[in-house]
Amino acid sequence: MASCIYFCDLKGKPILSRRYRNDNLPEDAIDKFPLLLVEREDETNVLPPVLEFNGVHYLFIQHNDIYVLTLTPKLDINITSNFTFLYQVIDVLQQYCKRVEEESIRDNFVIIYELLDEMMDYGIPQITDTKMLKQYITQKSFKLIKSKKKSKNLVRPPEQLTDSVSWRPKGIVYKKNEAFLDVVESINMTISGASGKVLRSEIIGEVKVRSRLSGMPDLKLGLNDKGIFSNKSAEDDIEGEDADAGVQNNNKKKGDRNIELDDLKFHQCVRLSKFENEKTITFIPPDGDFTLMSYRLTTPLKPLIMCDCKYQIHAKSRVEINCRVKANFKKKSTANNVEILIPVPGDADTPNFRYSHGSIKWAPEKQAIIWKIKNLLGGKEYSMASQLKLPSVEDNESNFSTHSKPPIQIKFQIPYYTTSGIQVKYLKINEPNLQYKSYPWVRYITQSGDDYSIRQ
Amino acid sequence: MPPLDKKIRKFISNAVRIAPKVSSKGELSELRNCLASPYPQTRKDAIKKTIQQMTLGKDVSSLFPDVLTNMATADVEQKKLVYLYIMNYATTHPELCILAVNTFVSDCNDPNPLIRCMAIRTMCMIRVDRIMEYVETPLRKCLQDDNPYVRKTAVICVSKLFQLNEELCLNMVHDDLIPMLENESNPIVLSNAMASLMELYPTINYKTLINDHSNTIITKLLNALNESSEWGRVTILNSIAEYNSVDEMDAKKVIDRVVPHLQHANPAVVLGSVKVVLKNVEFLFTSSAATSYLPKVASALVSMMSTPPELQYVALKNIRIIVEKYPTILTKEYRIFYLKFNDPLYVKLEKLDILMRIVGNSKTNNLKQYQSFLQELREYVTEFTPELVNKSVMCMSALAIKCPSLSPEIVEILTTQVTSCPDDCLIALCEIVRNTVQNLDSIVNYATTVCEDLIKDESKCNLVWLMGEYPSKFPKFSQVIGNFVDSFTEEGNCTQMSILLTVVKNHKLLGGSILQKTLDMGSKESTEIDIRDMAIMYWRCLSIDESLISKLSTVTNTGDMGDLPKISDTIEKFPEPVLKVLLQQLSTLGSVYFKPINEMATVQQSKLLMDKNSNIIRGKDVGELANLAQTEISKNEDILLDLNGNDAENANDVNNNNSTTFDELSDLFGGVEINNNSSNNNNSTLLTSIFTNNNANSIGNNHASSNNQLDQKLNNNNNNNNNNNNPNSTRNTQDLLDLF
């Protein structure tokens, strides 16, 4: 469906390309891409990921310093599948060449061609599972001699590739059979600085698995999810928007810690129809690391880390910032690597800080000061004061008083803690042939999501 | 620093290596020598270098024979490299590739499936029809290959042949591909076969094939869904979406199979499932069944908001389509669409669009939602980005109209707190006036203070309209209008029209000389045909009977806003048939442009669209529209797109009106009836006199003049017609009469 795939540098000049089919695309269509980008930039700030010129549609994503794009003249192509594919391409290339950027693409022409041919045929996505691709695309362009040993005639597509269990090769053996589960919850939250009220909060959780198991094990995961344990589905909260509050009440009434996960998403390996019918999560895991499932929760949360910032702007002379940060979680827990990004006017300089904990750095490129605290114990409260000089000539663009200030952003990690209260009850591992003993390990961590911010 | 043992190993391996290295210069002559080197390692390096040169854009086709000699090797890796090279030239230099055809044919019998695959794949990409005689036998063999990996490649090759040899391709489809759909046991091969068939649409109509109940293909596909790879699922879901369930049971069967896939990690699978479920939910008559599936769809859509921004963008565009069909589906979840600080701008704008639509659609608690949304909008209007502020301001006006109790508060925000964009605020405020005159005074005050700062055509047009509606509220009325008349030729079309109407309406206040001047300029100096038409029409009214024009203005001036129908909604909607088509093409590129794909638009549908005067590609900026229009016009394939094209030519007007022209139009028609009656009573003699004068064109405009806004709509309409059939007044009038 996609006619071709291009890798372009930041200016939009092609580095590498593969044409999958002849769709009456003009050969030089790609040359227009950089111009389109520039034209757009001149006109408006909005740069949607779909551009059109002369009947050719340009679908692109950006990654590091490259654009990856496909072109198509047709309107009836599946655009979701196209974008997803582009992301998967990046993902696969990342596994092969670590960082995907202009230089690494130039260094790895051959392998990238080979991968592109394997991942897509005639515009139809085929195989994007890195673990399987690695089984038979073994070429390492920069380690010529080593790869020679492997090659010979043994390189064949693995049989499982086209099986229904296409993600796991047969014959995996480990001396010690282990499975590691990481439950990672990312918190996105918008807090109003003035009132301290939470305007929006969500938990995006992921269960990541590192499987080191032999053979073809069948796993069954038990969680304390309400939907999973009691078969009652979440129909009762269709009406009214106070469903959130309703859920909370339910929890309180029942008094147990069963929680309700929304929007579950599962890895390819999970038997979806079994989950739909019996509410059990069963799967044959791929070997190594993968994300088994993700979920989202919209229960109202209290801010885990609250930051209160007071600005005193003396126009044309200086700005004073007093900031207090408070950890609102239990005393047992600790937040690690707390990073608080406090925006300052773009034209401020000569910073001067007073603080008792952590370290503070001025980052002029981000127009902010960054306060880092290695360990923030639950219940503690720290403060800092800083002062920056303002130029005597006012610049309207970076003026804080005319426009709203950008939000304060906070990053953190709290190990051994889940905000939602999700718990792994069990992980049953059953390998029908080998019958080995196995050890599941579970770890919990809560961290800031990509948007944990305090509006001012 | 690399560890020591690694360094030693590297040293040794370099020392042991006897084969000469290929220098990095990549000169053709050197490459040629190395390609013929007796050392296999050197040859391999040389091929790699060649490929590298090829990628850099250098023409290395002259090395073709040299590379080809390296093809006959037992080393799979080397063979792959050669194939890579050949593939790149397969499309551009087919004459060279034909040289290798014998090797291809023999490779098709190689014991290694990887080689068989590469051979057949490459062969089918060579664009020479002579190769067909070689391809047929191996391809048929590969289609029956034991190894599914080879089969999955071969089925796709079938559709590749279409352009080269239609007959052979169709033969193979009937002999192999279609039977495979019923008999193939491997899910990947099955889904690829389906994908291949879909490529051949409409020559081979896979849709009828799926809907043909004499075969079991649909059952087969549904069963394969669980076993397939993620991309296979995407293909299968795509094809199932074309299946029309026969009855409720059937639909339920399909839904039950597909619903679990709403929880797949791949967004393409999710949206594909959404499409299938939504299509089949319509067959479920028992409402409880439908309501139990819709929350699942909602939750799947919401989860798309945690994907990368490009996918969010696609999802939001699709949600826009879905909420029009199911307005309450996401209302409960509206908070998920609140903007995140680091969302890209294009996502933010789409989110606002969705919010504006879904907020307040539930049965209870609407006020709370409205207030919460307004609180958010308050934050957004103080942002830096003008596009975002603009959109937020428009959302505010839509909100004020949706929820009148908030409108005083919104008017206050717009008049006092938003400083960065007077143009947009004024437009928004005028929209609010068209809905309710409650806060007129503060709006008029605001208009007076900003009237010097306006830049955009549409905002000036709105200002002039507002002044014309309430001349008594503006102390400097005649002076400001006078200034506008002086700069008439410099203004945009919308403003010109607005000036013309305002001056005619208020000519008693302004005096005859200004009226004369305006009509003069309108009829002679405007570039827009409708403005000239309108001005000439007024001239004629004047020449028939002096009192006529006064009567006209009294009709419009009876009580401020007295006659004008109120607008109740500023949110654009798709017309029914367009929505129906769009729902069927969720997740396609067309859905992002809100553009139904050609084949769907039958003549009948497009006629219906014409009647409804719909425009499906609004909400885009002028440049984009113009581009689209050009391509559309060049295609000129069906009436529907023609309509788009015309509208795009009028993009200025459409966009400048800014408010949702066509929605209002339908509202206005309701009002026109009333106006018609009143003006008929008043001016019945007048009408007949005009009829006798055979100045048919003025009838439409006569009514139109009673309503400033309506004028513009009708003119758009006029334009459409004008563009279709050269300005032809009788035809025009006919159309206008039809509309009434």
Domain borders along chain B are: 458-558
A12-30 b/e (C-beta count within 10 Å ≥ 16 → b): bebbbbbbbbebebeeebb
Q: Do B235 and A21 make contact, defined as CB atoms within 8 angstroms? A: no
Bridge partners for A265 per DSSP: A294
Please name the residue of chain A whose CA is at the shortest distance from the CA of residue B315.
A80
Do residues B104 and B122 lie in contact, with contact meaning Cβ atoms separated by under 8 Å?
Answer: yes
DSSP state of B417: I
Residue B18: both structure tokens together: 């006897």
Confidence of residue B561 (pLDDT cuts 50, 70, 90): very low
Return d(Cα B232, Cα A4) in angstroms, integer: 20
What's the pLDDT score for residue B67?
Answer: 85
Please compute Rg for chain A using Cα positions. 26
Q: Do A46 and B349 make contact, defined as CB atoms within 8 angstroms? A: yes
Confidence of residue A250 (pLDDT cuts 50, 70, 90): very low
The answer to which of A110-114, A309-313, B126-130, B236-240 has the lowest mean pLDDT is: B126-130
Give the 3-state DSSP-derived string for A36-57, with helices as H, strands as E and coil as C: HHHHHHHHCCCCCCEEEECCEE
What's the pLDDT score for residue B318?
Answer: 95
What's the pLDDT score for residue A231?
Answer: 38
Q: Do B48 and A110 make contact, defined as CB atoms within 8 angstroms? A: yes
Region of A50 on the Ramachandran plot (φ > 0 left; ψ -120 to 50 alpha; else beta): beta
% chain B with pLDDT above 70 = 75
Helix axes B345-358, B309-325, angle to 10 degrees: 20
Q: What 3-state DSSP class applies to B285?
A: coil
Residue B558: both structure tokens together: 């009876």
Domain A179-228+257-301+419-450 annotated CATH 2.60.40.1170: yes
Return d(Cα B145, Cα B111) in angstroms, integer: 11
Bridge partners for A259 per DSSP: A225
B729 vs A437, residue with greater confidence: A437
Q: Do A241 and B331 make contact, defined as CB atoms within 8 angstroms? A: yes
What's the pLDDT score for residue B622?
Answer: 40
Q: pLDDT digits over B389-427, tens only?
A: 999 999 999 999 888 888 889 998 988 888 788 888 999
B117 contacts on A by Cβ (under 8 Å): 157
> Is A305-393+404-415 the same fold as A179-228+257-301+419-450?
yes
B641 vs A359, residue with greater confidence: A359
Strand A178-192 with A439-455, pairing: parallel
Do residues B175 and B208 lie in contact, with contact meaning Cβ atoms separated by under 8 Å?
Answer: no
CA distances (Å), origin A30, targets A2, A7, A71, B65, B474: 14, 10, 8, 30, 56
Return d(Cα B656, Cα B661) in angstroms, integer: 10
Interface test with B, best of A43, A78, A403 (most B CBs within 10 A): A78
Q: pLDDT digits over B319-354, tens only?
A: 999 999 898 888 888 888 999 888 999 999 999 999
Q: Do A263 and B271 make contact, defined as CB atoms within 8 angstroms? A: no
Average pLDDT over residues A401-425: 85
Interface test with A, best of B306, B319, B598 (most A CBs within 10 A): B306
| pTM for this predicted structure | 0.80
A296 closest CB neighbour out of B160, B303, B364 = B303
Please name the residue of chain A whose CA is at the shortest distance from the CA of residue B625.
A52
Whether ipTM > 0.95 holds is no
B379 contacts on A by Cβ (under 8 Å): 404, 455
Q: Do A80 and B267 make contact, defined as CB atoms within 8 angstroms? A: yes
What's the pLDDT score for residue B672?
Answer: 34
Do residues A183 and A444 lie in contact, with contact meaning Cβ atoms separated by under 8 Å?
Answer: yes
Please spell the DSSP secondary structure of B535-559, one letter per residue: HHHHHHHHHH-HHHHHHHHHHHHSS
Confidence of residue A242 (pLDDT cuts 50, 70, 90): very low
A53 closest CB neighbour out of B235, B385, B627 = B627
Return d(Cα A84, Cα A81) in angstroms, integer: 5
Do residues A413 and A251 lie in contact, with contact meaning Cβ atoms separated by under 8 Å?
Answer: no
Confidence of residue B555 (pLDDT cuts 50, 70, 90): low
Confidence of residue B602 (pLDDT cuts 50, 70, 90): very low
Mean pLDDT, chain A, whole residue set? 82
Q: Do A148 and B310 make contact, defined as CB atoms within 8 angstroms? A: no
What's the pLDDT score for residue B666?
Answer: 37
Average pLDDT over residues B70-86: 82
Domain A4-134 fold is Beta-Lactamase (3.30.450)
Q: Do B114 and A453 make contact, defined as CB atoms within 8 angstroms? A: no
- Burial of B337 (C-beta count, 10 Å sphere; 0-12/13-18/19+): buried
Q: Do B311 and A125 make contact, defined as CB atoms within 8 angstroms? A: no
Whether residue B735 has pLDDT greater than 80: no
Whether residue B16 has pLDDT greater than 50: yes
B735 vs B211, residue with greater confidence: B211
What's the pLDDT score for residue B181?
Answer: 86
Sequence-ordered list of residues with C-beta below 8 angstroms from that of A373, at least 6 positions apart, any chain: A325, A335, A338, A340, A357, A358, A382
CA distance A387 to chain B (A): 25
What's the pLDDT score for residue B614?
Answer: 33
CA distances (Å), origin B269, targets A80, A123, A167, B227: 9, 17, 17, 13
Return d(Cα B233, Cα B476) in angstroms, integer: 68
- CA torsion, ordered A436, A216, A209, A244, to nearest 10 deg: -110
B310 closest CB neighbour out of A49, A75, A126 = A49
Q: Do A61 and B310 make contact, defined as CB atoms within 8 angstroms? A: yes
Return d(Cα A426, Cα A219) in angstroms, integer: 10
Interface test with B, best of A4, A6, A80, A298 (most B CBs within 10 A): A80
A156 closest CB neighbour out of B114, B188, B591 = B114
Please spell the DSSP secondary structure of B146-199, one letter per residue: SSHHHHHHHHHHHHHGGGT-HHHHHHHIIIIIHHHHHH---HHHHHHHHHHHHH
Please spell the DSSP secondary structure of A352-419, one letter per residue: EEEESSSEEEEEGGGTEEEEEEEEEETT-EEEEEEEEE--SS--STT-TTTSPPPPEEEEEEEET--S
Return d(Cα A101, Cα B195) in angstroms, integer: 32
Whether residue B560 has pLDDT greater than 70: no
B274 vs B653, residue with greater confidence: B274
Strand A218-223 with A381-389, pairing: unpaired
Q: Do A81 and B80 make contact, defined as CB atoms within 8 angstroms? A: no
| Number of A–B residue contacts, CB under 8 Å | 289
Confidence of residue A318 (pLDDT cuts 50, 70, 90): confident
Write the single-letter amino acid at A78. Answer: N
Sequence-ordered list of residues with C-beta below 8 angstroms from that of A253, at least 6 positions apart, any chain: none
Whether residue B667 has pLDDT greater than 80: no
Q: pLDDT digits over A185-217, tens only?
A: 999 998 888 788 888 888 999 999 999 998 889
First and final C-alpha spacing in chain B: 84
Please spell the DSSP secondary structure of A169-221, one letter per residue: -S----SS-EEEEEEEEEEEEEEETTT--EEEEEEEEEEEEEEE--SS-EEEE
Confidence of residue A296 (pLDDT cuts 50, 70, 90): confident
CA distances (Å), origin A406, targets A199, A200, A383, B681: 16, 17, 20, 61
Confidence of residue B660 (pLDDT cuts 50, 70, 90): very low
Q: Do B259 and A83 make contact, defined as CB atoms within 8 angstroms? A: no
CA distance B678 to chain A (A): 46
Whether residue B600 has pLDDT greater than 50: no
Do residues A369 and A361 lie in contact, with contact meaning Cβ atoms separated by under 8 Å?
Answer: yes
Q: Do B588 and A77 make contact, defined as CB atoms within 8 angstroms? A: yes
Q: Do A48 and B263 make contact, defined as CB atoms within 8 angstroms? A: no
Helix axes B76-90, B40-55, angle to 10 degrees: 30
CATH number of A305-393+404-415: 2.60.40.1170
Please compute Rg for chain B using Cα positions. 34
B735 vs B599, residue with greater confidence: B599
Residue B144: both structure tokens together: 């029956």
Peptide bond into B408 cis (omega under 30): no
For residue A319, give the H/E element and its range.
strand A318-327
Please, what sign has the CA dihedral across residues B663, B667, B668, B673? positive
What's the pLDDT score for residue B673?
Answer: 34
Q: To 5 degrees, how large is the angle CA A301–CA A303–CA A306?
A: 175
Return d(Cα A444, Cα A224) in angstroms, integer: 14
- Burial of B115 (C-beta count, 10 Å sphere; 0-12/13-18/19+): buried
B35-64 b/e (C-beta count within 10 Å ≥ 16 → b): bebeeebbbbbbbbbbbbbbbeeeebeebb
List chain A domain ranges. Answer: 4-134, 179-228+257-301+419-450, 305-393+404-415
A76 contacts on B by Cβ (under 8 Å): 585, 588-590, 597
Residue A179: both structure tokens together: 């499975």
CA distance B298 to chain A (A): 9
What's the pLDDT score for residue B160?
Answer: 85
CA distance B489 to chain A (A): 26
For chain A, the 3-state helix, strand and coil shares in percent, each to the nearest 5, are: 20, 40, 35
DSSP state of B415: I
Bridge partners for A188 per DSSP: A202
First and final C-alpha spacing in chain A: 47
DSSP state of A225: B
